[in-house]
């Protein structure tokens, strides 16, 4: 198959290229860029010299649909909402890595993203691509709204308990940390080396745009879910997310029963690995991979539960999950092209 990647010069686009280079069912990646049209891709990423030396092509929706078997939109917010309607309903799956198609309510999107919402026909057609939780719907989809990086880590950690009504839906606190690549490739003061190095800071306090995405899915699982408290922090590392969730159990359950339930929930999900009780994952242990590792601690004294979920934000939080969704849509082995071992140390 031939794969189109729009926004190939960003980090998400580069990760898609890396994955598809080893994908057994993909012959070629055709790379599109609004800023680098006509340039060699290796000018943007010299480490790909002699590996991926294609010339970047202009974004022409009609040509893209003719040339490709699937299209990935690795674009900033606001771009997909313009391009998706021009690509839809032509028999080519579209997988959008931006947030444009995730939020069902247009007013909510505009309030949190501070930009105009996508056309509702695009949003309504898009399937939320949380691979492990939505496989059957993804299989039949033409348009995928790939989940955000923070929501992927948070939702995979909470799903086994929320979907079985085991935790108090009125009290969910999420404390999340991310590496700097989550901010994208464009330079800014907040990601400047001298500002970030030897530093640790909270940002977008109670205002992160992934908040309504998390709440939307939690309410699909349990309509009684209250507004969450969601804090995000930037740490001086390149890749990785750690989401720590604090909540309260609704009924008495032992740590052994909880571990059995958590592991059983993901027993058919290769990319989600649940640790034993009090064995906590680290971001380094999923670096460069499509794994989500989950640990937990049940405080039997208070009845409170702490869940720790780690992912690589560019892989399971973006390009890796996008390829996993592509595999599901195309009826391929879900692990195709994604079985790379985490880089350690």
Q: How far apart are CA 72 and CA 319, in angstroms?
A: 9
User: Is the pTM value of this prediction over 0.85?
Assistant: yes
What pLDDT, in 10s, does the model give residues 173-218? 999 999 999 999 887 888 889 999 999 999 999 999 999 999 999 9
In this structure, what token pair is assigned to residue 219?
Answer: 């309410």
Q: How far apart are CA 118 and CA 122, in angstroms?
A: 7
- The shares of helix, strand and coil residues in the chain, as percent rounded to the nearest 5, are 35, 20, 45
Is 58 in contact with 64 (CB distance < 8 Å)? no
Q: How far apart are CA 20 and CA 255, in angstroms?
A: 40
CB atoms within 10 A of CB 331: 7
Q: How far apart are CA 56 and CA 54, in angstroms?
A: 6
Is 245 in contact with 307 (CB distance < 8 Å)? yes
Report the DSSP beta bridge partners of residue 343. none
What pLDDT, in 10s, does the model give residues 238-276? 999 999 999 999 988 999 999 999 999 999 999 999 999
Catalogue all structural domains in the chain, each as residue range(s) with its CATH number. 2-125 (3.40.50.720), 150-312 (3.30.360.10)
Each of the 345 residues of the chain gets a pLDDT tens digit; together they read 999 999 999 999 999 999 999 999 999 999 999 888 899 999 999 999 999 989 999 999 999 999 999 999 999 999 999 999 999 999 999 999 999 999 999 999 999 999 999 999 999 999 999 999 999 999 999 999 999 999 999 999 999 999 999 999 999 999 999 999 999 988 788 888 999 999 999 999 999 999 999 999 999 999 999 999 999 999 999 999 999 999 999 988 999 999 999 999 999 999 999 999 999 999 999 999 999 999 999 998 888 999 999 999 999 999 999 999 999 999 999 999 999 999 998
CB atoms within 10 A of CB 46: 8
Look at the alpha carbons of 112, 118, 119, 123 in this order and tell me if their dihedral is positive or negative. negative
Q: Give the residue numbers marked as catalytic.
A: 149
pLDDT for 158: 98
Q: Which residue has 């505009």 as its token pair?
A: 110
Spatial CB neighbours of 82, under 8 Å, sequence gap ≥ 6: none
In this structure, what token pair is assigned to residue 44?
Answer: 């943007």
E strand residue ranges, 121-203: 127-128, 143-145, 173-178, 201-203
Is 181 in contact with 239 (CB distance < 8 Å)? yes
Q: Residue 200, exposed/middle/buried by CB under 10 A (0-12, 13-18, 19+)?
A: exposed
In this structure, what token pair is assigned to residue 326?
Answer: 């592509």
Q: Which residue has 């990086």 as its token pair?
A: 149
- DSSP character at residue 149: H
In a 13 Å sphere around the CA of 338, the CA atoms on its Cβ side amount to 28
């Amino acid at each position: 198959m031939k794969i189109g990647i729009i926004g190939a010069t960003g980090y998400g686009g580069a990760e898609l290229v890396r994955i598809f280079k080893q994908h057994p069912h993909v012959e070629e990646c055709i790379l599109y860029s609004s800023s680098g049209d006509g340039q060699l891709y290796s000018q943007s990423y010299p480490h790909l010299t002699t590996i991926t030396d294609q010339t970047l092509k202009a974004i022409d929706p009609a040509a893209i649909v003719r040339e490709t078997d699937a299209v990935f939109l690795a674009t900033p917010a606001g771009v997909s909402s313009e391009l998706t309607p021009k690509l839809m309903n032509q028999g080519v799956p579209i997988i959008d890595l931006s947030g444009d198609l995730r939020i069902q309510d247009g007013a909510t999107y505009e309030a949190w993203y501070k930009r105009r919402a996508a056309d509702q026909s695009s949003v309504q057609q898009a399937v939320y691509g949380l691979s492990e939780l939505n496989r059957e719907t993804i299989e039949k989809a033409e348009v995928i709204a790939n989940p955000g990086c923070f929501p992927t880590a948070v939702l995979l950690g909470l799903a086994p308990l929320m979907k079985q009504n085991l935790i108090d839906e009125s009290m969910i606190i999420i404390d999340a940390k991310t590496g700097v690549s989550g901010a994208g490739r464009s330079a800014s003061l907040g990601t400047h080396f001298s500002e970030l190095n030897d530093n640790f800071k909270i940002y977008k306090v109670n205002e992160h745009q992934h908040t309504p995405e998390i709440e939307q899915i939690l309410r699909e699982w349990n309509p009684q879910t209250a507004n969450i408290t969601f804090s995000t922090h930037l740490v001086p590392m390149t890749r990785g997310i750690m989401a720590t969730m604090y909540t309260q159990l609704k009924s008495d359950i032992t740590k052994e029963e909880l571990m059995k339930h958590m592991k059983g929930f993901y027993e058919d999900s290769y990319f989600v690995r649940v640790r034993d009780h009090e064995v906590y994952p680290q971001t380094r242990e999923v670096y460069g991979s499509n794994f989500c590792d989950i640990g937990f601690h049940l405080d039997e004294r208070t009845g409170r539960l702490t869940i720790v979920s780690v992912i690589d934000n560019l892989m399971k939080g973006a390009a890796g999950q996008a390829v996993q969704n592509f595999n599901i849509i195309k009826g391929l082995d879900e692990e195709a092209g994604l079985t790379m071992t985490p880089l350690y140390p």
